[in-house]
Amino acid sequence: MRTTSPIKSELGSSTSDTVTVLGQDLISMLGKVNLGDFAFLEVFGRLPDERESVLFNALVVTLVEHGVTPSAISARMTYLGAPESLQGAVAAGILGLGNTFVGTIEGAAKVCQTHLPAAGFHDLGGLAPLSDIEIDDIAVAVVAEHAEQRKPIAGLGHPVHKPLDPRAQRLLQIGRELGFDDSSSRLMEALARKASERSGKVLPLNATGAIGALASTLGVPADVARGLGVMARSIGLVGHILEERREPMAKTIWFRVEDEVAP
Amino acid sequence: MRTTSPIKSELGSSTSDTVTVLGQDLISMLGKVNLGDFAFLEVFGRLPDERESVLFNALVVTLVEHGVTPSAISARMTYLGAPESLQGAVAAGILGLGNTFVGTIEGAAKVCQTHLPAAGFHDLGGLAPLSDIEIDDIAVAVVAEHAEQRKPIAGLGHPVHKPLDPRAQRLLQIGRELGFDDSSSRLMEALARKASERSGKVLPLNATGAIGALASTLGVPADVARGLGVMARSIGLVGHILEERREPMAKTIWFRVEDEVAP
Amino acid sequence: MRTTSPIKSELGSSTSDTVTVLGQDLISMLGKVNLGDFAFLEVFGRLPDERESVLFNALVVTLVEHGVTPSAISARMTYLGAPESLQGAVAAGILGLGNTFVGTIEGAAKVCQTHLPAAGFHDLGGLAPLSDIEIDDIAVAVVAEHAEQRKPIAGLGHPVHKPLDPRAQRLLQIGRELGFDDSSSRLMEALARKASERSGKVLPLNATGAIGALASTLGVPADVARGLGVMARSIGLVGHILEERREPMAKTIWFRVEDEVAP
Amino acid sequence: MRTTSPIKSELGSSTSDTVTVLGQDLISMLGKVNLGDFAFLEVFGRLPDERESVLFNALVVTLVEHGVTPSAISARMTYLGAPESLQGAVAAGILGLGNTFVGTIEGAAKVCQTHLPAAGFHDLGGLAPLSDIEIDDIAVAVVAEHAEQRKPIAGLGHPVHKPLDPRAQRLLQIGRELGFDDSSSRLMEALARKASERSGKVLPLNATGAIGALASTLGVPADVARGLGVMARSIGLVGHILEERREPMAKTIWFRVEDEVAP
C-alpha cells in the first residue's frame, strides 16, 4: 500500500440545510448571482465586483457562439449517430476546442503576460502602466520574433471581419469604459498595427485576441484561458443540438462527403 | 450522387462589421446581457424578460457545482493522464451527465409535462391552474404507478438534504416570488409528500426535481432538459480542473484503488 | 461515512515478474495471441478456440472501417481543432457510435436472442436447432410486428450493397464453414426475405445484421454488442486521423458548410 | 464562396458487390486476417508480412490491459452516470491516454528516431547497424541531457516490475527471435543501464519503452505512436465496462471520495 495524502476539495460541501461553494452560501446566491458571475467564482474563488461582472460576462458571451464551426459540425455528426446521448454530442464538440481555435486565446494571453509583467493586469500594485511608446517597442520586437520563426501572432487576422473585428472593438471599449488598465489591450492593438505594417496584409485584432488581452487584465493565467472557451462554447453547442433537431444538416453533410469520395 | 437539401443555420452570421446570433445583434448585447441570459437565447431563440432571466439563471447556477461527483472524478482522472488537453478533461466529465444523474431533471420534467398538459407552464393560455386537490389526485396516481413498477420517482430523495433540500426550497420560492404559475412546483411537492407517506421514508423534493418542475414552467421540453445540466456543469468542471491543479486528488484516488485491487 | 464494499478487479494484476489478465499469463500470450483473440478474452473472460478465433476476428475486422462516416467526419473535425490530442479526435469519433449506427447490431442481436431462446446460440445444450419452417414463422411474425409499429428491422437494407451485401454473405459463409449452428443466420436471412416480400423493396441482410446474428451465435449479450463496434472502430478512427494528416478534408468540409450557411 | 479542393479518401470504397479498404479487397480478407493485422493495414496502408504480424500483434496486445488505471476509473465513473451510452464511457477512458501515460511511447520512440537516423529501423537501407559502443555513447549523452534538464527518460522505471519488466523483456525477445534489427532495443536497454547507474535507482526498461523502441523498428512515426495505445486500450476499456456491470466499483470509489472530502 502506498501512502497517500488526504483528499480535499473546497468546491462544494453540504449539511442538511446548507450548501457551500468555494466558501460562499449557495442558497443566498440563487436569484441574485447570474451564470457568468458564478463562472467567475469557479475561476477566481470569489465573486466578481460590479465591473468585473460586466467585463467577464461580455468575454464569455462572445465565446458562446461562432456559427457552424468544426466543433459544431462534430457535435451535430455525433448527435446523428447517438441521439440518445445529448451529452456525448456536446462532449464531441468540446473536444475540438484545442490549440487551433481556443489556443489562440491562450497565445494572446501569453504574449500579454510575458511582456507586461506586473503592469497590464488587474492589480497594477502601484506601478505606472507602460507608455504607448514602450508598448510599441514591445510590439515591434514580438512581431519580428514571430516573423523570424514564421509563426502567426495569436489573436490577429479574420477572414470576414476586416479591417476591424466589431467584437474585439466592443470588448476593448467595454474594458476602457469600466476603467480597467488597458495595457494588454494597447499591446494587442499595437501588435495588429505593427504586424499589418510589416506583412502588408490587413491583420485586425480579432475576438480571441481581445479576449486573451482582457482575460489577462482580469488575472486569468494564460494556461487556463482556454477554460473560458470551453465553458462558453458548451452552451453554444447545446444550442446547435437544439437547432439540429429542428433543422438537421448532419445527414446532408455526410451524404455529400461520401458521394464526393466515392461517386 | 444523392439529392440533399440546402444547409441552413440561424445560430450565427456575420458581415464585415456585424455579428448576428439567432436574429440578435451580438455587439449591442455585449456588456448588457449576462451568460445565463445568452444561454436562454440559445435554448429559446429569444432573450428572456426580467423575471425569466432571474429564474433561468437561478436554475443553471444551481446545476454548476455538486462537489466531487463521479463526473468530476472522471474529469480529474483524465486531466492526470492528459494535462495537455483541458478540453478533454471537461469532455470526459460531461460524458457522465447521462440518465443516472441529469436524467432525473428530464424525468421530473416529463412527469410535469405529461400530467399538467397546457396548465402548469409558462403560458397558461387563459386556462385556470389546477387546484391543490386535483394536483394531489395526480400525485397519488403517479406514486402508485411508480410503486407498482418498483421505479423511483425522479427528483425525490437526497442522502444529506433531509427533510428538505434547501436548493429546491429556494428555487420554488424564487419561482413564486416572481409570480410564475406554480402548478409544476405544487405537483413535485405533492409527489414528495405522497411518496414519503406511502413508503414511510423521508423523500424530499431535491434540486433536480425542482429544476425539472421550473424548467417545465419556463417551457423547456423534457427531452432537452438535460441540456441545462450539460451547459452548467461544464463550468463547474473547469472549476474542478483548476482545483486539481492547485490541490490534486486524482493520483491519490488511483493509487488507493490500485492498491486495494492488488495489494 | 457510508459503508462500502471492497474494490475488486480481475482484469489485471502483477507481481514483480508476472502480469496476469483475466486469469491468463500475459507474458506467455505475447507473440502467440493476436489482437482479436485478446479482445475475445476481454469480452468472454477466456481465450477463443480456433474456430471462435476465426469468426470473432472476421466480425470485428468487418467493423473497423466503413469509409467517411459521420463518426469519421467528427474525428477529423476534432483533429483540425485540437491536433495536440489524437486521443480526443478518436474519442469524438467513438461518441457517434450510438443507437443510429452500432445500435443496429444490438437490435439484430436482440431479435435473435429474443426469438431463438437456447437454440441458435453457440451451445445448443443438446437441443435440436429450429427447422426452416419454424424460423420462417418467427420471421413472418417479427416482420408483421415491426410493420404495425412502423419501425424498420435492425440489420436490413443498404443504399449501395443490393441485392446482397457481400460482407454479410461472407460472414454467414464463414460461420457455416466453421460448423457453427446457423439458426441466428437463418433467422436474419428469413427476415430479409420476408421483409422484402412484404414491403416490395430490396432489403438485403447487411453487415450489422450479420454481425448481430453471429455475435449471438458466439454468445455476446445483445446489450453489449455495440462494444464490438466501439473496439473495432477505434482502430479505424486512428486510420482516419493518419489519413487526415496526409490528405486533409476537414477544413474543406468546414469552409463549404460555412459558405453555404452564410454566403 | 471560398475555393476548396476535392474531398478524397482511400480508406473505404464500395460497389454493389465489393468493399475495398486501402486498396485491399475486404471480402477476401475476412476469415484470414486478424484484427491486429487489420490495424497494421490502417497504420501502414499495407498488410504485414508474417513476422511483422507477430511483432505488431504483440505490441498492441501488451497495450490493451493495464488494470485499474486512471483511464479505466474514468470510464467506469462515466458508465455509472450514463449507462445508456457505452460508447461515452469508452470515450471518457480514451481521453486520458495523453502525455502522461501513452505519451511515454511517443517519448521513447522519439529518442530512438532522433538518435538512430536510418539505422535502427525496419529497413536499414543497406546500412550497418550501430555497434554496442556507439549505442552506449548515445545513451550516455541522452541520460546526461535529461539529467541536466531534470527530466525523466520516457520508457524507464516501474513501481512493481523491478529489476526487470517482464513485458519489456518478452517484447524485445520476440523482436530478436523474428530477426528484426535490434538497434532501437539496444538503445533503450543502454538508456536503462546508464540512467540506473547515474541515478543510483533501479530504472528498468518498461513496457511503453519497449513498445516505443519496437514501434520505431516497425516504422511507426513517433508522433503517431500514441495511436497504438488508443487502438488497443479501447478494447481494454470495453472489458472494464463489462466488468463494471458484473462487479461495480464506481459507486464505492465515489462514496469514499465524497465522504472523505465532507465527512
Give CA separation, D209 vs D37, D191, D206, in Å. Answer: 22, 10, 5
Binned at pLDDT 50, 70 and 90, residue B4 comes out as confident
Are C262 and B13 within 8 A, CB to CB? yes
Q: Which residues of C touch B82 (CB under 8 A)?
A: 85, 87
pLDDT digits (tens, 9 = 90+) for D177-206: 999 999 999 999 999 999 999 999 999 999
Are D98 and C85 within 8 A, CB to CB? yes
Candidates B94, B224, B235; nearest CB to A94: B94
Contact D78, B92 (CB under 8 A): yes
Predicted pLDDT at B49: 96
Q: Which residues of B touch A103 (CB under 8 A)?
A: none
Binned at pLDDT 50, 70 and 90, residue C161 comes out as confident
Q: Which residues of D touch B253 (CB under 8 A)?
A: 73, 253, 257
Can you tell me which residue has the cell 405544487? Answer: B186
Distance between CA atoms of residues D247 and C9, nearest Å: 8
Does residue B262 register a pLDDT over 90?
A: no
The per-residue pLDDT of chain B, averaged, comes to 93
| CA distance, residue C15 to nearest chain D CA (Å) | 7
Contact C81, C148 (CB under 8 A): no
Q: Which residues of B touch D88 (CB under 8 A)?
A: 95-96, 98
Distance between CA atoms of residues A70 and A263, nearest Å: 24
Range B94-117 average pLDDT? 92
Distance between CA atoms of residues D154 and D215, nearest Å: 14
**Single-letter amino acid code for the residue at D159:** P
| CA distance, residue D94 to nearest chain A CA (Å) | 12
Q: Which residues of D touch A262 (CB under 8 A)?
A: 12-14
Q: Which residues of A touch D95 (CB under 8 A)?
A: 95
pLDDT greater at residue B16 or residue D1: B16
**Single-letter amino acid code for the residue at C185:** S
Candidates A6, A8, A85; nearest CB to D88: A85
Q: Which chains touch A (3 or more CB pairs under 8 A)?
A: B, C, D
Q: Which chains touch C (3 or more CB pairs under 8 A)?
A: A, B, D
Cell of C49: 478456440
Q: In this structure, how many other beta carbons lie within 10 angstroms of the beta carbon of residue C156? A: 27
Distance between CA atoms of residues C95 and C222, nearest Å: 19
Predicted pLDDT at D62: 97
Beta sheet of D13-15, edge-to-edge order: D13-15, D18-21, D24-25
Predicted pLDDT at B123: 54
Candidates D71, D82, D97; nearest CB to B96: D82
Q: Which chains touch B (3 or more CB pairs under 8 A)?
A: A, C, D
| CA distance, residue C30 to nearest chain D CA (Å) | 5
Question: In angstroms, how far is CA A179 from the centroid of its own chain?
Answer: 21
Query: B45: closest CA among B81, B1, B10?
Result: B10
* Buried residues in B97-109 as b, exposed as e (16+ CB within 10 A): bbbbbbbbbbbbb
| CA distance, residue A70 to nearest chain D CA (Å) | 16
Are D61 and C231 within 8 A, CB to CB? no
Three-state DSSP at C47 gives coil
Range B1-16 average pLDDT? 88
Distance between CA atoms of residues C56 and A158, nearest Å: 51
The per-residue pLDDT of chain D, averaged, comes to 93
Predicted pLDDT at C24: 95
Does residue C128 register a pLDDT over 90?
A: no
Three-state DSSP at C200 gives coil
Are C84 and A101 within 8 A, CB to CB? no
Contact B25, B12 (CB under 8 A): no
Mutate to test the interface with C, among A71, A73, A255 (most CBs of C within 10 A): A73
Are A95 and C91 within 8 A, CB to CB? yes
Binned at pLDDT 50, 70 and 90, residue D7 comes out as very high
Distance between CA atoms of residues A224 and B41, nearest Å: 27
Does residue B46 register a pLDDT over 80?
A: yes
Are C58 and D259 within 8 A, CB to CB? no
Q: Cis peptide leading into B117, omega within 30 of 0?
A: no
Binned at pLDDT 50, 70 and 90, residue B124 comes out as low
Candidates D68, D81, D98; nearest CB to B97: D81
Distance between CA atoms of residues B227 and D192, nearest Å: 51
Range D200-214 average pLDDT? 95
Binned at pLDDT 50, 70 and 90, residue B84 comes out as very high
| CA distance, residue C181 to nearest chain B CA (Å) | 38
Predicted pLDDT at A129: 83
Are C166 and D19 within 8 A, CB to CB? yes
Query: D178: closest CA among D93, D55, D72?
Result: D55
Does residue B188 register a pLDDT over 60?
A: yes
Candidates D84, D96, D258; nearest CB to B78: D96
Q: Which residues of B touch D252 (CB under 8 A)?
A: none
Q: Which residues of A touch C261 (CB under 8 A)?
A: 67-68
For D69, phi then psi, to 5°, come to -80, 170
Report the DSSP beta bridge partners of residue B24.
B21
Are B36 and A36 within 8 A, CB to CB? yes
Distance between CA atoms of residues D52 and D109, nearest Å: 17
Query: D238: closest CA among C46, C225, C88, A84?
Result: C225
Are A87 and D87 within 8 A, CB to CB? no
Q: In this structure, how many other beta carbons lie within 10 angstroms of the beta carbon of residue C201? A: 11
Can you tell me which residue has the cell 494528416? Answer: C245
- Point out the residues of chain A with pLDDT beneath 50: 119-120
Range D117-124, long-range pairs (CB < 8 A, 24+ positions): D119/D181, D119/D183, D120/D181, D120/D183, D120/D184, D120/D187, D120/D216, D120/D217, D121/D181, D121/D184, D121/D216, D121/D217, D121/D219, D122/D180, D122/D181, D122/D217, D122/D218, D122/D219, D123/D219, D124/D181
DSSP H or E stretch at residue A13:
strand A13-15
Candidates B22, B31, B43; nearest CB to A58: B31
Q: Which residues contact B242 (CB under 8 A, 6 or more apart)?
A: A42, A43, A224, A227
Distance between CA atoms of residues B13 and B4, nearest Å: 22
Pairing state between β A24-25 and A18-21: antiparallel
Distance between CA atoms of residues C190 and C188, nearest Å: 5
* Buried residues in C94-125 as b, exposed as e (16+ CB within 10 A): bbbbbbbbbbbbbbbbbbbbebbeebbbeeee
pLDDT digits (tens, 9 = 90+) for D49-74: 999 999 999 999 999 999 999 999 99
**How many residues are recorded in chain B?**
263
The angle that helices D86-94 and B86-94 make with each other, rounded to 10 degrees, is 160
Please state the ipTM of this predicted complex. 0.95
Candidates A9, A91, A262; nearest CB to D261: A9
Q: Which residues of A touch B85 (CB under 8 A)?
A: 98
Q: Which chains touch D (3 or more CB pairs under 8 A)?
A: A, B, C
Predicted pLDDT at B13: 84
Pairing state between β D18-21 and D24-25: antiparallel
pTM for the structure as a whole:
0.96
Distance between CA atoms of residues C137 and C141, nearest Å: 6
DSSP codes joined into one string, C209-235: HHHHHHHHHHT--GGGTHHHHHHHHHH
Does residue C1 register a pLDDT over 90?
A: no
Range D124-138 average pLDDT? 83
Three-state DSSP at B19 gives strand
Cell of D75: 470510464
**How many residues are recorded in chain D?**
263
DSSP H or E stretch at residue D165:
none
Does residue D93 register a pLDDT over 90?
A: yes
**Single-letter amino acid code for the residue at B147:** A
Q: Which residues of A touch C249 (CB under 8 A)?
A: 257
Binned at pLDDT 50, 70 and 90, residue D226 comes out as very high
Are A99 and C92 within 8 A, CB to CB? no
Does residue D118 register a pLDDT over 60?
A: no
pLDDT above 90 as % of chain C: 84
Predicted pLDDT at B162: 86
Are D70 and B254 within 8 A, CB to CB? yes
Are B70 and D95 within 8 A, CB to CB? no
Candidates B19, B68, B86; nearest CB to A9: B68
Range C223-242 average pLDDT? 96
Three-state DSSP at B105 gives helix
Does residue C121 register a pLDDT over 60?
A: no
Query: B242: closest CA among B65, B63, B114?
Result: B65
* Buried residues in D115-148 as b, exposed as e (16+ CB within 10 A): bbeebbbeeeeeeeebeeebbbebbbebbeebee
Give ∠ CA D81-D87-D89 in degrees, rounded to 5: 40
| CA distance, residue B104 to nearest chain A CA (Å) | 14
